[in-house]
Amino acid sequence: MYDVAVIGAGVVGAAIARDLAGTRNSVVVLDARDDVGEGTTKANTAILHTGYDAKPGTLESRLVARGYDILTEYCARANIGLDRTGAVLVAWDEEQAASLPGLQAKAVENGYEDTSLISAEDVYDQLPSLGPGVTGGLVVPDEAVIDAWTVPLALAAEAVQRGATFLREHRVTGVDVGAEQTVVHTDKGDVTARWVVNAAGLGGDVVDAMFGHDRLKVHPRKGELLVYDKLATQLVDKIVLAAPSKLGKGVLISPTIFGNVMLGPTAEDMEDKADTSTSESGFEFLLEKGSRILPALLDEEVTASYAGLRAANNQSDYLIDVDAAQRYVIAGAIRSTGLTSAPAVAEYIVGLLAETDLDVTMRDDLPPVPVMPALGEHQVRPHADDEMIAADSAYGEVVCFCERVTRGEIRDAMRSTIPPGSLQGLRRRTRAMNGRCQAFFCGAEVKKLYESYREPGDD
Amino acid sequence: MTENTRLLTPRVAVIGGGPAGLRAATKLAPAVDGEVLVLDREREAGGIPRHADHPGYGIRDRKRFMSGPAYAKALVADAEAAGAHIMTRAMVTGWEDDETLVATTPQGRVRIRPEVFCFATGARERPRTARMIPGTRPGGILTTGQLQNLVHVNHERVGTRAVVVGAELVSWSAVMTLQEAGCRTVALVSQYPKGESYGLFTGPGQLLFRTRVETESKVVRVLGRSRVTGVEIERADGARKVLECDTLVFTGGWVPDNELLRMAGVEIDGASGSPVVDATGRTSRENVFAVGNLNHPVETADVVALAGEHVADRIIEHLRGDRPSIPTVGIEVDDPILWVSPSAYDPQGPEPARGRFVAWVDRLVPRPTVTVRQSERVVACKRLWWPAAPGRAFRIPSSLLQDVDAADGDVRISLE
């Protein structure tokens, strides 16, 4: 029996598990998929938000701002790629230009005072390749791009290093809440815990209903993204935001932490919580937007296209609540801002739990923060690290040519605290096969290495 | 970059040890006073033929009919015998400065500062993602390159029912590889009205491999969750249907590997993505040459090897100090020609490799008439005996450009 079961190993569940594993409580994390961050987390647009455009006074506003600070510091300690490129919110007509001062005032209400209004001319100075028609801009200098794949992995790995158990491919099918403990039924057997934390993302409403609540409705909102090849970064070195609309933050163009350029996302309300297919209409929409925002981008090669699902919901704010009678906590209705706010959500929940019978005093014998492999394009990666190659020639064997991934990194990923459960998981841990050739040259070799390192003791 | 990083100063650095690079090195090594260094990122040099374990190599350059791997071995042996130094597992990652490349090897990083750079980095197939084909992202989707690596180098199995996208020469190479791996090709999907490959393949190929070519069709959707279960195709008339398969191979759609040249600011042809080169492989930078399928994606390996020999002659002259700076004229093309290589030409200078320009078309012209114009003047107009077909190199004799006037501006080539 565990003290706490966390349902969901996305970025929010991983952050909560990490914090609770730092107490004297035993923690188990359950996820329906075969890896950390396999749901809404993995297709996030990977921007660390200042929270300048949140709804003032909300829990979301507070936790995004706090999360920004925690995560900035955490990324530095855990060696996670984070690049403070800054963002420019670009107005393309008079109406949008007129809305910028209001957005600036809203940023101040959210506690963020460093935005500045700039003229169309200044926008073109900063972003010379933008298409014609800019009418003005709002600079948000602290918006940053981040390695959204490594963040949940680092948090989950730290949870495990602190003693938590990670059970993948455990889909929760029901719960029995008893007087002292709750039995969580999964398709791989029962897990018993005193407390249960629901961080199930897209499935958050289903788990919440298992505890008898009828308040949250989650539906998937599909976002399609196009990722352009490395040399497109010559066109844009900042996040280019569109004026917000009812369906979200609109289409943005952003450098990525891996040295590519991203265009997206679309916003399409769906019913199927597993449908991450891309569509003709989605591509057409993105190309149309892209051709107006940054025309030269369309001459570059597309490296990848993705579709991710965001957890759209019926709440106007995050739903974070402790049901002490059932020893049940929900971290629900957490939108795409959850990547930034996750560590603050965890901190907030630990604070709420301190008021209950659960002892959340931190232990003083915690292992150090895990040092993650450098995946950011601006970081010194093994192929460029003379000392690493001299110490171990496997870091000089480049296997994935496009992304410059070495055999040493693939080996390390396979032997890491939470090794990948699939080739897709290996991609997210190393960048292997994510480049312009999409495995034309390295796919066979990477697969061979993946299989050989799965055999224990094989070098 | 630390001061300790080893600095190599060969006279010529050849980047890419495929047919073009190896053949260039073979010719250069005995003629050049100093080192000719070939950098290749794979475990063994030889390039794409290493992975294509079927006959059809060496016809034009070695006057033999041999398998890809045997051909690759012969090229490597020749280059080594000629005195070229081949450094494998050397991945060139970028430039330290205008004159110095940086490479990662298992023995550490090296800097390479040669007198002359010869880029022979080749081309890759455009993968599914870059083609922006919607649908799911299941397993079982490959390019020919990945397929041939899996089957020929790693001896792995693929599925049992494949759809091959494309019907050009490389597509049939994929069909052969699939058959060897016990996977039947249920259909090839071609956007063109006729299969774009050599007639030799399209007719008999369909019988031989018990397959068919779905013409005037394009893939519009990929189906399947963990493994591909089918593709939806759309004909030119808008009709759609689903082809069931467990393996989907995207073939052709060649993209030159031009990244290092773009990083160096070398002028790139917007239509092909290849560097702008003259008939001798000179780029817009004086000591940077380019050769092979980087310049014309793609030609067969034997033709590429002969181009390697051709560029070597010019590099030898360059090293001797013979560096003509005669102005060259640019070459523009009209539909259905997509690009031509070389795309710059010096009427007083040497001919391109094999006395031919290489072009790529996107529409079949069975008996094409080629017209070469300069300003309003028709320089040449000639009907050719061979077809211009999508998916294979269309060769234009350089004699058609012999009356081009160096002072008269750009040349325009059209096709009817």
pLDDT above 60 (res A107): yes
Put simply, the answer to whether B41 touches A437 (Cβ < 8 Å) is no
- The amino acid sitting at B229 is T
Nearest to B255 among A301, A304, A305 (CB): A301
Put simply, the answer to whether B154 touches A439 (Cβ < 8 Å) is no
pLDDT of residue B2: 55
| Residue B140 half-sphere exposure toward CB, CA atoms < 13 A | 25
- Chain A residues in contact with B132 by the CB 8 A cut-off are 226, 283, 302, 305
**Least CA distance to A234: which residue of chain B?**
B263
pLDDT of residue A276: 87
Put simply, the answer to whether B146 touches A280 (Cβ < 8 Å) is no
- Chain A residues in contact with B142 by the CB 8 A cut-off are 439, 443
Q: Which of B32, B95, B86, B74 shows the shortest CA–CA distance to B319?
A: B32
A108 touches chain B (CB under 8 A): no
- Chain B residues in contact with A228 by the CB 8 A cut-off are none
**pLDDT per residue as tens, chain B (416 positions):** 555 689 999 999 999 999 999 999 999 999 999 999 999 999 999 999 998 888 889 989 888 899 999 999 999 999 999 999 999 999 999 999 999 999 999 999 999 999 999 999 999 999 998 899 999 999 999 999 889 988 987 888 899 999 999 988 889 889 999 999 999 999 999 988 876 655 556 677 777 778 889 999 999 999 999 899 999 999 999 999 999 999 999 999 899 999 999 999 999 998 999 999 999 999 999 999 999 999 999 899 999 999 999 999 999 999 999 887 766 799 999 999 999 999 999 888 889 999 999 999 988 898 999 999 998 899 999 999 999 988 889 999 999 999 999 888 999 999 98
B208 touches chain A (CB under 8 A): no
Q: Which of A364, A381, A363 shows the shortest CA–CA distance to A372?
A: A381
**Mean pLDDT score of chain A, rounded to an integer?**
95
Nearest to A279 among B124, B134, B154 (CB): B134
Nearest to A396 among B107, B129, B262 (CB): B107
**Least CA distance to B4: which residue of chain A?**
A386
CA distance B93 to B77: 26
Which one is predicted more confidently, A315 or B210?
A315
B293 touches chain A (CB under 8 A): no
Query: pLDDT tens for residues B339-382?
Result: 999 999 988 888 999 999 999 998 889 899 999 999 889 999 99
In A156-171, which positions are buried (b, 16+ CB within 10 angstroms) versus exposed (e)?
A: bbbbbbbebbbebebe
How far is B145 from chain A, CA to nearest CA, in Å? 5
How far is B333 from chain A, CA to nearest CA, in Å? 19
pLDDT of residue A458: 43
How far is A282 from chain B, CA to nearest CA, in Å? 9
Residue-by-residue DSSP string for B278-326: -TT-B-SSTTEEE-GGGTSS---HHHHHHHHHHHHHHHHHHHTT-----
How far is A111 from chain B, CA to nearest CA, in Å? 41
A245 touches chain B (CB under 8 A): no
Looking at chain A from residue 360 to 389, which residues have their Cβ under 8 Å from any Cβ of chain B?
Answer: 383-384, 386, 389
Residue-by-residue DSSP string for B178-235: HHHTT-EEEEEE-SSSS-SS-HHHHHHHHHHTT--EETTEEEEEEE-SSB--EEEEEE
Put simply, the answer to whether B105 touches A443 (Cβ < 8 Å) is no
With cut-offs at 50, 70 and 90, classify the pLDDT of residue A459: very low
Joined together, the tokens standing for residue A10 give 């996305």
pLDDT above 50 (res A159): yes
Instruction: Give CA separation, A34 vs A8, A38, A216, A372, B381, in Å.
Output: 11, 8, 26, 20, 64
pLDDT of residue B259: 95
- For an interface test with B, the pick among A261, A309, A438 (most B C-beta atoms closer than 10 Å) comes out as A438
Which one is predicted more confidently, B322 or A376?
A376
Q: Which of A432, A384, A377 shows the shortest CA–CA distance to B108?
A: A384
**Least CA distance to B251: which residue of chain A?**
A440
pLDDT of residue A247: 53
Residue-by-residue DSSP string for B113-129: --SEEEE---EEEPPTG
- Chain B residues in contact with A444 by the CB 8 A cut-off are 146, 149-150, 153-154, 156
How far is A33 from chain B, CA to nearest CA, in Å? 13
Query: pLDDT tens for residues A245-295?
Result: 555 567 999 999 999 999 999 988 888 888 888 999 999 999 999 999 999
How far is B378 from chain A, CA to nearest CA, in Å? 33
Mean pLDDT of A399-423: 97
Mean pLDDT of A396-401: 97
- Chain B residues in contact with A438 by the CB 8 A cut-off are 127-130, 143
A428 touches chain B (CB under 8 A): no
B134 touches chain A (CB under 8 A): yes
- How many other C-beta atoms lie within 10 A of the C-beta of residue A265? 27
- Chain A residues in contact with B134 by the CB 8 A cut-off are 277-280, 282-283
- How many other C-beta atoms lie within 10 A of the C-beta of residue B143? 27
B135 touches chain A (CB under 8 A): yes
CA distance B391 to B394: 9
